[in-house]
């Protein structure tokens, strides 16, 4: 089997050396070139035709974002960003994912050599996933409806219909239900596509997206500026309310529990589950146990099987569960496993998930509430 051919782009000679060493240690991949800046990388990519590139966020001569934007417009290919654990690094990394980067690795601010070596399994796993991921050209702006928060900021990939905002009020339909979303690789953008189409009185949404510490607060703030619902990083013990979305903090598990008539967020440390923290399995198990038939489950793009077993528990408890279809996924791992587990009632293109769920809510609410 041919090896995955990787070009490393980073202005640090130490990081270039370490990433080259880590990649070349793998039996299924090789580093075929290392460039100190995007201008050198451009020639290297043209001449060597790599399968994947790793790209530093901040570099001289042309920063990683400008280079990524040009690359995804002219020669789309799998890119894994190498970010820094800073406020600026988090913001730029989220922009890179929006532009089409498959995933990112957060290098430590100090002890870079030891830190990267400790992350070598994570780095090589993400390169493997990226080499198999679905790539789209740079997103082009899609017209936003008048009055939509963040109008003009939403993008739709060519070949994929832009999600249709759900504008009709749900009224009392939203007060008992909770929507649970699980996502991994490609999920930051897929989750955004779902949330920006929800009406302001949507049921509460609780989200586990595989992300490291230091990135979820910026991610939540970014979504909050685009959506009609309020989006925030979850806080332990807070009430889960309609019209709000709660994102698991990076490096912490998120679940729900009941206190009288209220649902509460539970944010806790603990061992990784299915190699992940936060884990979709933890969130979906609590949905099955605590929310039961009032839960709606959505499994979005991602590698692996995290959450598949728990989503089957959700369905067995009476929840309504859907999965993103293969054609609109960056990686069809988690949805495929949920489907194989018999956890899913519907498999839908990303652009149709929200509208379908809102129609389902109205159809199952009875004649009186469906007219609200």
Catalytic site positions: 184, 210, 306
SS3 130: helix
SS3 140: strand
Phi and psi (nearest 5°) for 51? -85, -35
How would you class 330 by CB atoms within 10 Å of its CB: exposed for 0-12, middle for 13-18, buried for 19 or more? Answer: buried
User: What one-character DSSP code corresponds to residue 238?
Assistant: P
User: What one-character DSSP code corresponds to residue 316?
Assistant: H
Burial readout 336-364 (b: 16 or more C-beta within 10 A, e: otherwise) = bbbbebebbeeebbbbbbbeebbeebbee
How would you class 133 by CB atoms within 10 Å of its CB: exposed for 0-12, middle for 13-18, buried for 19 or more? Answer: buried
Laid out side by side, the sheet with 320-324 consists of 230-233, 244-247, 204-209, 178-183, 295-299, 320-324, 346-348
Asked if residues 238 and 266 have their Cβ atoms less than 8 Å apart, the reply is no
Cβ within 8 Å of residue 147, ≥6 positions away = none
How would you class 303 by CB atoms within 10 Å of its CB: exposed for 0-12, middle for 13-18, buried for 19 or more? Answer: buried
How far is residue 334's CA from residue 336's CA, in Å, rounded to a whole number?
5
Asked if residues 8 and 54 have their Cβ atoms less than 8 Å apart, the reply is yes
- Checking 136-144 for CB contacts under 8 A at 24+ apart, the result is 136/76, 136/100, 136/160, 137/72, 137/73, 137/76, 137/100, 138/69, 138/72, 138/73, 138/76, 138/99, 138/100, 139/98, 139/99, 139/100
Spatial CA neighbour of 32 closest among 137, 133, 127, 96: 127
- Beta strand 79-84 with 103-107 is parallel
């Amino acid at each position: 089997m041919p090896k995955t051919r990787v070009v490393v782009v980073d202005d640090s000679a130490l990081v270039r050396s370490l990433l080259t060493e880590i990649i070349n240690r793998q039996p299924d991949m090789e580093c075929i070139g290392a460039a100190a800046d995007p201008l050198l990388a451009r020639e290297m990519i043209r001449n060597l035709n790599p399968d994947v590139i790793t790209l530093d966020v901040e570099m001289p001569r042309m920063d990683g974002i400008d280079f990524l934007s040009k690359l995804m417009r002219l020669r789309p290919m799998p890119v894994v960003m190498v970010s820094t654990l800073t406020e600026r690094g988090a913001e730029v990394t989220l922009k890179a994912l929006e532009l089409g980067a498959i995933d990112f690795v957060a290098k430590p601010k100090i002890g870079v050599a030891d830190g990267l070596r400790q992350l070598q399994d994570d780095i090589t796993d993400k390169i493997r996933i990226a080499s198999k991921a679905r790539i789209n050209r740079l997103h082009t702006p899609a017209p936003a409806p008048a009055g939509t928060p963040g109008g003009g900021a939403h993008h739709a990939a060519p070949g994929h219909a832009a999600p249709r905002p759900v504008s009709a009020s749900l009224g009392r339909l939203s007060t008992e239900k909770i929507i649970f979303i699980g996502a991994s690789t490609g999920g930051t953008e897929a989750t955004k596509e779902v949330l920006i189409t929800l009406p302001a009185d949507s049921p509460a949404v609780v989200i586990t997206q595989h992300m490291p510490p230091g990135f979820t607060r910026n991610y939540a703030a970014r979504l909050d500026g685009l959506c009609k619902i309020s989006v925030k990083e979850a806080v332990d013990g807070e009430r889960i309310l309609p019209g709000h979305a709660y994102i698991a903090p990076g490096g912490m598990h998120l679940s729900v529990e009941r206190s009288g008539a209220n649902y509460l967020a539970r944010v806790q440390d603990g061992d990784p589950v299915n190699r992940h923290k936060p884990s979709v399995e933890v969130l979906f198990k609590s949905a099955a146990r605590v929310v039961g038939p009032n839960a709606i489950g959505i499994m979005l793009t991602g590698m692996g099987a995290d959450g598949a077993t728990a989503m089957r528990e959700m369905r067995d408890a009476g929840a309504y569960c859907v999965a993103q279809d293969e054609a609109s996924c960056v990686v069809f791992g988690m949805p495929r496993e949920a489907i194989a587990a018999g956890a899913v009632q519907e498999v839908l293109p990303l652009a149709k998930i929200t509208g379908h769920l809102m129609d389902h809510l109205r159809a199952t609410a009875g004649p009186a509430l469906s007219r609200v």
